Amino acid sequence: MSREQMAIHKVLGEVLEGLQGPAQKGELIACAFGYDRLCFPILCAWIADQPEHASLQNINNHACPKYEVDFKGLGSLHESPLRIQERYFEIVKEYEDNRSNAAPVEYLVSKSLKTLYNAFWALPRTSTYDLHKPDILNNIYLRLLKHMMEWVQGFLKKHNRIKEFDQAWSSIGPYPGLAVPNKAYRVTTQWHGKEMRHLGRIVLGAFAVALQAPLMAAWKDFSRALQCVRALIDFHFIAQYTTHTKKTLEYPQSYFEDFHKHKDVFLEFRAYK
């Protein structure tokens, strides 16, 4: 554990110390109706991106903050066991009782943990590894869409269609409520949440135009690439719904399956590099 991480968690320990007593024993808090209610304030979410969660939870940068899955298993359909802080805490205590036994440390390292201390472990009624809550900005706009565009750009360059994509991108007509780009995608140097939100609305159309009239040898790859990108764009739209029905909750699973069915078309050409 680096000194910086140790300092972060020592500070967090001081900041969060005030929650330990009330979360365990409760605290009387006045409600809007003028009554004192016995409340148990707990920390239930922490909105951050993946690198920040890795630092907060003291795990490897490429590890999942919620499941015990290694880097090679990320993105697969295989179900991995949940991270359980009580189990980790017991293993740390086992090592502290007998520091000559390196087995507990080796176990924690195998689960991508980098430290024997985490400030969140001391909070009652709080699951450290359940604090990770996906949000539209960090997980969809600045991660999913940005990573998808790296694949798309690599795929277009591989098939010499980058010029067609730029032309389609910069020639999209105006429409009420739609901010259309006025220059090629590659010319834009700063991509923030607002820009990525608009990108999600138009990228599939521009990508489809760029892949028009494919050569016979590339027709199948073009079709699979379009289906893969469409699955990600549909997922990004459904993720923005504020309410759901049983039917709409079934859609993300179908998008997820479509993506995994066709994502190899990008990996085969190593377009992610």
Judge whether 245 lies within some domain. Answer: yes
How much helix, strand and coil, in percent to the nearest 5, is found in the chain? 60, 5, 35
Summarised one tens digit per residue, pLDDT across range 12-52 is 889 899 989 999 999 999 999 999 999 999 998 888 877 88
How far are the Cα atoms of 83, 139, 149, 180 from residue 43, in angstroms, in the given order? 17, 21, 35, 40
Give the long-range contacts of residues 134-139, CB within 8 A, separation 24 or more. Answer: 135/47, 136/193, 136/239, 136/240, 137/193, 138/47, 138/48, 138/49, 138/50, 139/49
Q: Is the pLDDT of residue 224 over 70?
A: yes
SS3 call for 30 = strand
Report pLDDT digits (tens) over 101-116.
Answer: 999 999 998 998 887 8
Closest by CA position to 75, among listed 86, 64, 91, 88: 64
181 shares a domain with 154: yes
Question: Based on the domain organization, do 120 and 140 belong to the same domain?
Answer: no
CA distances for 154 relative to 157, 216, 234, 267, angstroms: 5, 20, 21, 10
User: Per residue in 37-46, pLDDT tens?
Assistant: 999 999 988 8
Same domain, 141 and 263: yes
Considering only CA atoms, which of 263, 211, 266 is closest in space to residue 235? 263
**Exposed, middle or buried, 182 (CB in 10 Å: 0-12/13-18/19+)?**
exposed
Q: How many domains does the chain have?
A: 2
Residue 269 has pLDDT above 70, yes or no: no
Report CA dihedral (51, 55, 58, 60) to the nearest 10 degrees. Answer: 30
Q: Of the candidates 70, 71, 69, 67, which has an alpha carbon nearest to the alpha carbon of residue 83?
A: 67
Domain termination residue (choose one: 100, 130, 160): 130
Q: Is the pTM of this model over 0.85?
A: no
Give the range of the structural domain holding residue 256, as residue numbers without chain letter.
136-268
d(CA 11, CA 155): 45
